[in-house]
Structure 1
Amino acid sequence: MPKKIGIFGGTFDPVHIGHLRSALEVAEFMALDELRLIPSARPPHREAPQVSARDRLAMVELAVAGLPPLRVDDRELKRDKPSYSIDTLESLRSELAAADQLFLIIGWDAFCGLPSWHRWNELLEHCHILVLQRPDADSEAPETLRNLLAARSISDPLSLEGPGGQISFIWQTPLAVSATQIRTLLASGKSVRFLLPDAVLSYIHAHGLYRASN
């Protein structure tokens, strides 16, 4: 049987329950064999992460420990160049069987910005795209994506066939948690308990991360 592998990238600065709950829900709904959280080293579309790649990787590893099918993939941190999704997909695809299904999981805002991604029109050659969409999201896609959606979208994510090439949407009600919010709270000395796993919080305190002086 072909494997079903999801990939969920981000700076994870720090990883929090919003990331983890979304990842776990998708993994269970899609019956994925594994879902890889891939910390980015140099994200092309946002500011550089506040803490080191080593610390961000350690926090994600702590967050998913003992929680299959979630796992960590550090390939982008080993690359000495910006973290382009197309490079990651090509690298992953080279390791998989031809029939294995690969799912790129992104949020609605990221999906709307897809035309600004490096070699974005090649992404579907390597994977399916699963878009996490909130009920309150603006449901109108940019004009540059409408033809692509008309040709490639499938209404039922569970009906995606083959190794890649199609787009589907998974509706979620996300937890109102953001890494920016967590960093702000930590810098002001306030508690972030229950916004991220206890093991991640312990790591942050042990290493003095996100303090106002950082």
Structure 2
Amino acid sequence: MVLANCRAQFTAADFEFVARALSHKGNRVSLVELLSDPDCRDEMLDHEAVAKALLSKTGQVAVSQQLYFYVLARTALRRQGIEDRDLADYMGALLWRFSTVQHLHSPHDKLPHQFHYIVEMLEALANASAAEAFLIRVHIGNYALFLSGMFRSWIERRQQRGAPDFSFYEEVGRTSFRTAAHHRLATQLELAQIYHQLAEGFQYARLALNELAHQVWNPEAEPPFKR
């Protein structure tokens, strides 16, 4: 499942990229600082030079997906006035995990469920165990946020034909995250606070992803719904 762990998975190449990006702007930062001081690392990752370096590259960037998505999510959230780094870590992990179609449609690697529509997930809750219901609830929230955030034009086109609008995704997303936040597994996984934030600020998180999608994504793209 999605965990707020992008920063825990950065590679040596990631640190080298950050140090190089900042040195080009006249900032003095060493690899030792980035590797040994988490506070320094977080501060350096917030520098606009890092995001610009990621976005200015053509083709494949020689960094991990975790660094790429964390920095972009953090930058987009800050523009919405959201400063919590753990939330940015979670949303970066969400983008990274859902970049794989299998993960987009599955609440957990060990569950047999393959969902393509939110209504299927809601129906599955009726026969789910408590643990399965938690995983499905979280997946509904993540799925609603990802679709409404990264595929805005697709939702708007479908809305004109009578499909659910953004208010549907926001309501089901908020409700799912709020319910998940009170589950004991959320506390054990140290995700309760993040779920609470997403329940209360779902719209702002969606708007952050809308901006991010417009910046790095094909705005007319459709979700990968192929079975």
- Normalised TM-score (structure 1): 0.29
Structure in which a larger fraction of residues adopt helix: 2
More strand by share: 1
TM-score by length of 2: 0.28
Q: Which has the larger radius of gyration?
A: 2
> Taking CA–CA contacts closer than 8 Å with sequence separation of 6 or more, which of the two structures ends up with the larger relative contact order?
1
